[in-house]
Chains A and B, each alone.
Chain A
Amino acid sequence: MALVLSEEQSMLRDSARGLISDKAPVSHLRQLRDSKDATGFSRDLWKTFAEMGFSGLLVPESFGGSGLGCVEAGVVMEEIGRTLMPSPFLSTAVLAASALSRGGSAAQKSEHLPKISDGTLLAALAIDEGSKHRPLQTRMQAVRSGNGFRLNGAKAFVVDGHTADLLIVAARSSGAAGEREGLTLFLVDPKSKGVETERTAMVDSHNAARIIFDNVEVNADSVLGEVDQGYPLMEGVLNIGRGAVAAEMVGLSEEVFGRTVDYLKERKQFGKRIGEFQALQHRAAQLYIDIEITRAAVLKALQSLDAGVESAGAAVAVAKARAGSTATLAVQEGVQMHGGMGMTDQFDIGFFMKRARVCQELFGDSNFHADQLARLKNY
């Protein structure tokens, strides 16, 4: 398959770009932040996303979606990255839709997927517990109780956890932290007794929550996939999320870079435009090259996920690691080259820097994925 977007994918990009740049430029995020909006995103805009088919992008057609793949999800994520639009697209349309389509029973799929597709159900994936992403270290307990399970533990960094109508929760039904066996995914209603959600305001003004589960009773039907065998499903869904976040970082990096190059062509010091200084030209060129190479690696990962090839895991590790380091470089150069203006809240560049830091952590930072690649290659 050619490592470029198809005509249909380019059309999807154009329509996503049109909508997002029009309705949710960076000022949209700024306004939500400044007004301390309780939802943290626009429900109206999410309705529009649903009408345009974006919320059901990964939902199979038989459940009202478009049945498209990770490349298409990446196309939308990249546009989201350009304006930093806060939206349940990642949590609901990418992660939850993938988890349910891949692991859901017929009943679970028909109950939830059509609602994800029409935009009426918001969902969140609860994996992380400690300060770093270590899915195998999941300690949250799921103990058999009657016909179902009793859940005890605490989750952190649950993206969009504060508004979710449905939680997808990883817990240990057997075995010890660090083991692949013994993990199970559960569908949990956040209104259940014993679930306590704390919205956590984050540095990037996007949405996340800490959620405590105190003796939460769930029945056997709430198991997503198989008991004790949840790891492959979880890892598959996480890889899709990693590919999607990497795509968001490509959009973010390119936007920061574009704004920075524009500034180099405009800002005058010492009687000339600062873009005439070779010290800045070479750094700008290096960043451009870095972004282009990362873009290729991310598209490769998304295509590999869609093709379901064995090498997809390594391709995702490469893409997420690269996207994280590229975005980190892009935002630092962005702030530095904007000089004092880059340090002001009034200027948008800072928003990109904050979001890049969060995207780095989300589903494993560059070091985590370098370690993953080394493990895959046995060294």
Chain B
Amino acid sequence: MSDLEKFRRETRAWLEANCPPEMRRPMTSEEDTFWGGRNTTFSSEPQRIWFERMRDKGWTVPHWPKEYGGGALDPEQTKIVRQEMAAIGARQPLTSFGISMLGPALLKYGTEAQKKEHLPKIAAGLIRWCQGYSEPNAGSDLASLQTRAESDGDDFIINGQKIWTSYANYADWIFCLVRTDASAKKHDGISFILFDMASKGVSTKPILLISGRSPFCETFFDNVRVPKSNVVGTVNRGWDVAKYLLQHERAMISGMGERGVGRPLGQVAADSVGADEQGRLEDPILRGQIASFEIDEAALACAAERAVDLAKAGQAHPAFSSAMKYYGTELNKRRYEILMSAGGIDALEWESERSKGGARPRAWLRTKANSIEGGTSEVMLGIVAKRILDLPGA
């Protein structure tokens, strides 16, 4: 037996012994996601147990080095852990922008002191991060951002406004793009800086969305004092860090369309439209839409697996995450259109206990942001045209 087969066997046994049965069921509400942070609470005892066991093993971030709270696994082993978790339907023990976005950027651009300070707290779910990128006048044209950071001795003084800051009202710290040189060309005067959301002068205001929920905020900075040592990478070269982080953000968002969450679509549809004696859905057009969706979903999962393997082999194109982001988000929107159609009038209830407070229609409306956040579908296609296809003037 090869070392990897042995590792797979051990992983399977460990997960079997340590993942509580409740944590293997499809997630049905927002409470099922554990985000960590200073003020966090667990929504259930199994959620706490599962998180703590995974944290102690270093498997909230299996591929990070040990000294930063990771499991020090190589890419093959990491893939095995992911596959074995998927095989039993295990939930992510910890979901965090620290893991999916900031962590990779710190590992590449952070100083040793920054890594030691922040990474272990991310791995252990102690600090919850938010992302200060978009501004009211800097959406798709992100590099035109105007939040300014002015030098004052060893500190920067930050003034300005961010928008669409996911969960800023729950976050402990923010990674933020600020303009440190107003006279430079727009990509050249930006810095990437970290600060505590409890700092004096930071305030947040949730934005009510079409889903009736407020996952995003407006975030205001009024003379916020931040040490210069909190800049990641070089001052005025923050755009490099920002772009690198975006690749990881896009890979994360594309993953939303990648795997089935909740019950299989075929079963959901059978409950409302019924099935014939051979088990085929009575609505043949819906059946075809589901099959066609599931074909694309399975193919995308293959592409995600291949993207990781290509990266390992040093054959990946850095802009490929934009391709995945485009496809994954469009696919996720399709999933929810099918779910709404399959659910019929039951999927229209907005507040009842029966509908878990309108969980499905709210989730359906939430997905419409997928192809906007982290770069719109149109921006993603533009990046593919320019950076991968090398089309003129793109």
B393 interfacial contact with A, CB 8 Å? yes
Using CB atoms, name the residue of chain B closest to A283.
B381
Contact B378 A282, beta carbon cutoff 8 Å = yes
Chain B residues, Cβ within 8 Å of A264: 391
27 contacts between A and B (CB under 8 A): A4-B310, A261-B391, A275-B391, A275-B394, A278-B394, A281-B385, A282-B378, A285-B384, A288-B323, A289-B326, A289-B384, A292-B303, A293-B300, A293-B327, A295-B306, A297-B299, A297-B303, A299-B306, A300-B302, A318-B295, A318-B298, A322-B296, A322-B299, A370-B291, A374-B266, A378-B279, A379-B280
From B266, B303, B306, B378, A379 is in contact (CB under 8 Å) with B266
Contact B298 A4, beta carbon cutoff 8 Å = no
> Closest CB of chain B to A337's CB: distance in Å?
12
Contact A292 B264, beta carbon cutoff 8 Å = no
> Closest CB of chain B to A32's CB: distance in Å?
33
A191 interfacial contact with B, CB 8 Å? no
Contact B306 A296, beta carbon cutoff 8 Å = yes
0/1 per residue, A367-379, Cβ < 8 Å to B? Answer: 1011101110111
Interface positions of A (Cβ within 8 A of B): 2-4, 261, 264-265, 272-273, 275-276, 278, 281-282, 284-286, 288-289, 292-297, 299-300, 314-315, 317-319, 321-322, 367, 369-371, 373-375, 377-379
Contact A293 B269, beta carbon cutoff 8 Å = no
0/1 per residue, B252-269, Cβ < 8 Å to A? Answer: 000000000000111101
Chain A residues, Cβ within 8 Å of B145: none
Interface positions of B (Cβ within 8 A of A): 264-267, 269-270, 275, 279-281, 287-288, 290-292, 294-296, 298-300, 302-303, 305-306, 309-310, 312-313, 315, 320, 323, 326-327, 378, 380-382, 384-385, 388-394
Chain A residues, Cβ within 8 Å of B296: 293, 322
Contact B279 A314, beta carbon cutoff 8 Å = no
> Closest CB of chain B to A379's CB: distance in Å?
3
The 6 closest A-B pairs by CB, nearest first: A379-B266, A297-B299, A276-B393, A281-B385, A285-B384, A370-B291
From B269, B290, B302, B313, A296 is in contact (CB under 8 Å) with B302
Given A276-B392, A297-B303, A379-B287: 7 more A-B contacts, CB < 8 Å: A272-B393, A275-B391, A285-B381, A285-B389, A299-B306, A318-B298, A377-B264
Contact B291 A374, beta carbon cutoff 8 Å = yes
Contact B315 A285, beta carbon cutoff 8 Å = no
Contact B385 A293, beta carbon cutoff 8 Å = no
Contact B302 A297, beta carbon cutoff 8 Å = yes
